[in-house]
Structure formats: structure tokens, C-alpha cells
């Protein structure tokens, strides 16, 4: 059954199909059916009833997500996937609608419930670290011990109410845990959104991200580490300190990680590329700033921009925030190597950075500069940008790697020797960007040499011409000469 085949019996159909497939050993690891119910009947059950339907549908392979912000709960669910210690193959999503929870606009519902053995566990998926969910018997006095914070779990006891705000409201709580007396999926399948997997190999991060996206887990579009040449050591370090801690948070739970990483080195050698690829490799949200953007004309607005940037980094975690030209705001004071900042903007930046360092949120700030020598020592101190990675000019071996990356899928004649070109590029101190540009220029040289521009203009260009295009040694030499001339 495909997406859109929504019907009252869809759950049963799913089940019989699964059984059939399993019997026949047809393994379709990442196949996902998502069934979103928009409401057959005018009178949809209220939130409390829908919650009960969700609870009734839980077995030892499913999770119920209650959320007023599906995007944020998906992110947090993936982040805390390993806290759900059952192999999740089904996800029910109960979407809390506007106005259904008191004060909903301020206090979003974001939690998951799953059943392990006889216990129903609640896991907070709040994207606001300081906001706890109160899980207690509503008759009890308010007690801060009854709160669970983002990523924390608690076993639900019959009659407990779940309040996504700080305290219970006087009105009857809407989300009350009544231990289900039956296992029954039809109502949940009818009134909640459902994603299912047919099979799984390794759980949970992967299965949950598949359930969230409702499609196969494919590598994201965009740069990957394999698109970067000559920087293997740096890539290894970034894997060690960022990618693996994001992917396996439990392993690094009690380890103090550097949230601030400084990439420094000459222009156009891959710093920005590293930031983007890092985000894709870690499956983290990416945002990019130029530190010059923080300099504002009006008093106080620079600090506000900086606070907002850090707030977004935390809210979007796991996240990579790339700040280019950090030297433009954090320059050393004249001559003094121990200069203290008296600039409120820089103080704000350092304050936010120190606060971030103290949290466990996987929000990494990558700052880049061509002028490390200009940076104030207070910025690069441990606890702020404690990890410094030099992104150097590529050597001959690096240039060869970069060339091979950029030449992929381009037609090249047999007389072209990559070794010879790499030697030439190294002697003219090419950076990564020069290599990319040389290849583009060489391709244009080939088109010109083969008279392709005329054919295109006279509309006589054919498929046979396309087959003839190939870059020669001479095309490369001319392209490189042009770049060398520009460098002088």
C-alpha cells in the first residue's frame, strides 16, 4: 500500500502485508508507509481521547509522539533516539492543535511515550532545555522533583497527568495517563498520523530518522567530506570531536566537548566547505554568518543578533553554526596580548560561548579566519574556541586530490597527466578554489577550441558534438596560465 491509501482498514492491511512479506523473506529495509489522517468525520475525538487511542496502540515496537510542533519533535526524537530502548518500527504522531492545550502557544507539547515490558515510559522531547514537563498525580502538591527535562524519562503510573507547562493548571488536565486495558490500533490508525517500517537492521537512530522522514534514509544533498581534498587530518579530527559525539551522544555524555572550533588558514582552501560538509556528515542543521553582520549601527542590536544566533543554534541542535571572518569582531587591542574586551558586542559573544560550553546541547560553533594572529587571546582560550585547526594551502598531494574531486564527470583527453598538473599547480601556489577554477576555464577552452560556441550560436550543435567534447593538456595549461596571471 502506498501513501494516500487512507482508510478505515489500512492498519489491518498493513499488518497482513507485513506478515506476508516476512514469510516470503522479502526484506525491504527502509520502506515506509505513512498514513496521515485528516479526519473522516466532522467530530474528531478530543485530545484526551486521542491520547488514550495512542496509548492503546503501543506495543513493544512502537512509539507515540505527542507534539504541537512536529518538526521540532522529529529533531528531538532523532537526537534522543537511543534513549528509546526498544526497536521502534512504528511511530504514531498525535498532533496537538492550536488551542487544545491551555497556553499552548507558549508551552509546546513535545514528548514521546513507549512501552517496555509492562512499563509505559515518557521521554521529554522539549527543545527548550530549561522547560520541564510535570508528570505527576494531579492531586499531589506541586513538587519540582516531578519534572522531567529534555531527554529525561519517567515511568508513568496510572492516573498521572502530563503538563507541558511548569505547574498544573486548576482546570482538569487534558493529558492523563490511564493504563490501557486493551491493545487496539484501529482508533490510533484512524485519528493519529502513522509511519511504519517493514524491516529494520539497526535501531534506533536510523529507524527513527526513517520514520520521521517517511522515506528511505539517503545521504543528504550537499557537500560531504569526500568532496574535500587534501585535508584528511582535519576531517578525522572533526569526525572525532563533532560527528561521532552527535551520532552517539550516550558515549560522550559525561565528556566535556569543545563547542567552539576555530578553522584558520589562507583564503579559499576549504574552511567553509568543511563547515558545510561537517553538518551533512553529522546530520546537523547548518547556518552561516559573516561576523561583519554583527556590527550594527544601533546600540544593542549587535548583542541581540548574537543572542539570537546562539538561541537558534541551541533550538536547532544538533547544529553547526559557521561564522566567517571572526577576526572582524574579535581583534586584539593594540600590541597587548592580554587585552580585555570592553566592547559589549564581543562580551556578549564570549558570554554566549561560555554558556554554551556549559551545556550538553550538541550545538557547535565553527569560526573561521585568515588572520589568526589578529585574534584576541580571550576568544581563542579553552572553553571558548578551544580547538584550533589549521586549514593550510594544499601541497602537491592535496592538489592532486582536489583536482580529482573537481574533474569527476568531466571528459578529459588521454594526454592529460594529473601528476604533471599537480606539480605545476603546487609551484604556482594554487589553492583549492584555483583548482576548481582552472578546471572550469579548461572546459571553456575545450569548447572554444572545438568550435562548439559557433555551433551553439548557429543552432547546429548536435548530440554527436556533445560526445566530442574533451579537455586537453593544452586547455589545462592555458587555463592555469590565466590563473597565474591573475594572481600576480
63, 188 contact by CB (below 8 A): no
Cβ 139 to ligand ATP shortest distance, Å? 60
Among 267, 377, 411, 451, binds ligand ATP (CB under 6 A): 267
Identify which of residues 230 and 249 has a Cβ nearer to ligand ATP in the complex.
230
For the chain, give the secondary structure using H, E and C. CCCCCCCCCHHHHHHHHHHHHHHCCCCCCCCEEEECCCCCCCCCCCHHHHHHHHHHCCCCCEEEEEECCHHHHHHHHHHCHHHCCCCCCEEEEEECCCCCCCCCCCCCCEEEEEEECCEEEEEECCCCCCCCEEEECCCCCCCHHHEECCCCEEECCCCCEEECCCCCCCCCCCCECCCCCCCCCHHHHHHCEEEEECCCCCCCHHHHHHHHHCCCCCCCCCCCHHHCCCCHHHHHHHHHHHHHHHHCCCCCCCCCCCCEEEEECCCCCCHHHHHHHHHHHHCCEEEEEEHHHHCCCCCCHHHHHHHHHHHHHHHCCCEEEEEECHHHCCECCCCCCCCCCCCHHHHHHHHHHHHHHHCCCCEEEEEEECCHHHECHHHHCCCCCCEEEECCCCCHHHHHHHHHHHHCCCCECCCCCHHHHHHHHHHCCCCHHHHHHHHHHHHHHHHHHCCHHHHHHCCCCCHHHHHHCCECHHHHHHHHHHHHHHHC
Cβ 271 to ligand ATP shortest distance, Å? 3
Cβ 294 to ligand ATP shortest distance, Å? 17
Identify which of residues 115 and 400 has a Cβ nearer to ligand ATP in the complex.
400
Identify which of residues 32 and 402 has a Cβ nearer to ligand ATP in the complex.
402
Region near ligand ATP per CB under 6 A, out of 63-71, 77-85, 181-189, 267-275 = 267-275
249, 376 contact by CB (below 8 A): no
Cβ 412 to ligand ATP shortest distance, Å? 18
Pairing verdict, β 90-95 and 62-67: parallel
Residues β-bridged to residue 390? 264
Cβ 265 to ligand ATP shortest distance, Å? 7
Pairing verdict, β 319-324 and 193-197: unpaired
Among 132, 173, 230, 249, binds ligand ATP (CB under 6 A): 230
Identify which of residues 75 and 369 has a Cβ nearer to ligand ATP in the complex.
369
Among 11, 54, 132, 229, binds ligand ATP (CB under 6 A): 229
Identify which of residues 146 and 369 has a Cβ nearer to ligand ATP in the complex.
369
Among 269, 277, 350, 389, binds ligand ATP (CB under 6 A): 269
Cβ 398 to ligand ATP shortest distance, Å? 7
Residue 50 in the binding site for ligand ATP (CB under 6 A):
no
Residue 370 in the binding site for ligand ATP (CB under 6 A):
yes
Identify which of residues 11 and 398 has a Cβ nearer to ligand ATP in the complex.
398
Residue nearest to ligand ATP (CB): 432
> Whole-angstrom Cα distance, residue 328 to residue 294?
10
Cell numbers for 408: 569527476
Identify which of residues 405 and 416 has a Cβ nearer to ligand ATP in the complex.
405
Identify which of residues 436 and 478 has a Cβ nearer to ligand ATP in the complex.
436
292, 325 contact by CB (below 8 A): yes
Residue 272 in the binding site for ligand ATP (CB under 6 A):
yes
Cβ 436 to ligand ATP shortest distance, Å? 4
> Whole-angstrom Cα distance, residue 291 to residue 24?
58
Identify which of residues 283 and 325 has a Cβ nearer to ligand ATP in the complex.
325
Identify which of residues 57 and 471 has a Cβ nearer to ligand ATP in the complex.
471
From residue 310, alpha-carbon distances to 287, 291, 446 in Å are 11, 13, 48
Identify which of residues 186 and 436 has a Cβ nearer to ligand ATP in the complex.
436
Among 35, 112, 228, 365, binds ligand ATP (CB under 6 A): 228
Residue 268 in the binding site for ligand ATP (CB under 6 A):
yes
Cβ 345 to ligand ATP shortest distance, Å? 21
Residue 159 in the binding site for ligand ATP (CB under 6 A):
no
Q: How many residues bind ligand ATP (CB under 6 A)?
A: 19
* Nearest CA-CA partner of 125 in 137, 111, 115: 111
Residue ranges in 390-409 that form contacts with ligand ATP under rule CB under 6 A:
402, 405
Contact code string over 177-216 relative to ligand ATP, x by CB under 6 A: ----------------------------------------
Contact code string over 283-322 relative to ligand ATP, x by CB under 6 A: ----------------------------------------
Identify which of residues 174 and 276 has a Cβ nearer to ligand ATP in the complex.
276
Residue ranges in 427-456 that form contacts with ligand ATP under rule CB under 6 A:
432-433, 436
Among 54, 132, 270, 362, binds ligand ATP (CB under 6 A): 270
Task: Give the binding site for ligand ATP (CB under 6 A).
Answer: 228-231, 267-273, 324, 368, 370, 402, 405, 432-433, 436
Amino acid at each position: 500500500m502506498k501513501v494516500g491509501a487512507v482508510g478505515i482498514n489500512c492498519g489491518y492491511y498493513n499488518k497482513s502485508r507485513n506478515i506476508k512479506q516476512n514469510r516470503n523473506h522479502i526484506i525491504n529495509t527502509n520502506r515506509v508507509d505513512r498514513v496521515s489522517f485528516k479526519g473522516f468525520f466532522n467530530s474528531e475525538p478530543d485530545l484526551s481521547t486521542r491520547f488514550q487511542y495512542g496509548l492503546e496502540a503501543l506495543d513493544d515496537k512502537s512509539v507515540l509522539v505527542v507534539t504541537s510542533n512536529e518538526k521540532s519533535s522529529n529533531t528531538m526524537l532523532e537526537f534522543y533516539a537511543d534513549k528509546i530502548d526498544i526497536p521502534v518500527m512504528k511511530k504514531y504522531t498525535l498532533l496537538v492543535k492550536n488551542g487544545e492545550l491551555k497556553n499552548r502557544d507558549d508551552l509546546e507539547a513535545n514528548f514521546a511515550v513507549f512501552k517496555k515490558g509492562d512499563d509505559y515510559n515518557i521521554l521529554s522531547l522539549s527543545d527548550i532545555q530549561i522547560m520541564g514537563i510535570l508528570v505527576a498525580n494531579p492531586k499531589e502538591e506541586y513538587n519540582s522533583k516531578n519534572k522531567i527535562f529534555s531527554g529525561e524519562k519517567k515511568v508513568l503510573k496510572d492516573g498521572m497527568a502530563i503538563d507541558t507547562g511548569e505547574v498544573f493548571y486548576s482546570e482538569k488536565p487534558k493529558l492523563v495517563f490511564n493504563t490501557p486495558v486493551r491493545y487496539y490500533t484501529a482508533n490510533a490508525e484512524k485519528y493519529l498520523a502513522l509511519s511504519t517500517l517493514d524491516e529494520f537492521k539497526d535501531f534506533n537512530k536510523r529507524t527513527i530518522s526513517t520514520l520521521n522522514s517517511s522515506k528511505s534514509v539517503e545521504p543528504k544533498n550537499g557537500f560531504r567530506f569526500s568532496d574535500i581534498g587534501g585535508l584528511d587530518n582535519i576531517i578525522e579530527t572533526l569526525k572525532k570531536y563533532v560527528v561521532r559525539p552527535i551520532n552517539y551522544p550516550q558515549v560522550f555524555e559525561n565528556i566535556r566537548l569543545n563547542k567552539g572550533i576555530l578553522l584558520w588558514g589562507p583564503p579559499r582552501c576549504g574552511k567553509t566547505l568543511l563547515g558545510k560538509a561537517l553538518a551533512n556528515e553529522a546530520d546537523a542543521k547548518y547556518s552561516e554568518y559573516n561576523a561583519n553582520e554583527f556590527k550594527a549601527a544601533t546600540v544593542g542590536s549587535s548583542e541581540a543578533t548574537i543572542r539570537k544566533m546562539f538561541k537558534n543554534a541551541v533550538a536547532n541542535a544538533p547544529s553547526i553554526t559557521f561564522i566567517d571572518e571572526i577576526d572582524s569582531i574579535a581583534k586584539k587591542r593594540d600590541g597587548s596580548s592580554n587585552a580585555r574586551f570592553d566592547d559589549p558586542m564581543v562580551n556578549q559573544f564570549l558570554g554566549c560561548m561560555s554558556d554554551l560550553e556549559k551545556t550538553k546541547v550538541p550545538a557547535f560553533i565553527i569560526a573561521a579566519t585568515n588572520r589568526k594572529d589578529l585574534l584576541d587571546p580571550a576568544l581563542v582560550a579553552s572553553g571558548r574556541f578551544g580547538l584550533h585547526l589549521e586549514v593550510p594551502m594544499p601541497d602537491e598531494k592535496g592538489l592532486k586530490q582536489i583536482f580529482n574531486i573537481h574533474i569527476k564527470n568531466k571528459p578529459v583527453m588521454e594526454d592529460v597527466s594529473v601528476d604533471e598538473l599537480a606539480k605545476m599547480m603546487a609551484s604556482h601556489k594554487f589553492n583549492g578554489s584555483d583548482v576548481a577554477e582552472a578546471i572550469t576555464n579548461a572546459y571553456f577552452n575545450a569548447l572554444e577550441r572545438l568550435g562548439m560556441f559557433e555551433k551553439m550560436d548557429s543552432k547546429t550543435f548536435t548530440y554527436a558534438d556533445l560526445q566530442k567534447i574533451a579537455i586537453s593538456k593544452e586547455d589545462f595549461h592555458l587555463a592555469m596560465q590565466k590563473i597565474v596571471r591573475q594572481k600576480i
